[in-house]
Amino acid sequence: GRLCRWEAGEEFSCLIRVRHSRALAPGRVRIAGGRARVEMERPIRAVAPGQSAVFYAPAGRGLGGGVIQKEEG
């Protein structure tokens, strides 16, 4: 597989899976300060720090992801 790298300030729409048993849901990812900020089109229940968020292209190809952390701020 290829390693995806994003530049600071980049943003994109994609499908996102939180927790392995959840369905893919549309959202937007913004890269800033070495982190990805994820905003879902519709709220998702029971999201907690330590869970994974995985980003997918509309065709289902994995784009990347990370571990959810508490929002600072």
* Single-letter code of the amino acid located at 34: G
pLDDT at 4 over 90: no
Q: What's the Cα-to-Cα distance from 48 to each of 42, 58, 62, rounded to whole Å?
A: 16, 25, 22
Which has more confidence, 48 or 72? 48
The pLDDT tens digits for 28-63 are 999 887 788 999 999 988 899 999 999 999 888 888
Q: What pTM did the predictor assign?
A: 0.82
Burial 17-30, CB ≥16 within 10 A → b, else e: bbeeebeeeebebe
Which has more confidence, 14 or 59? 14
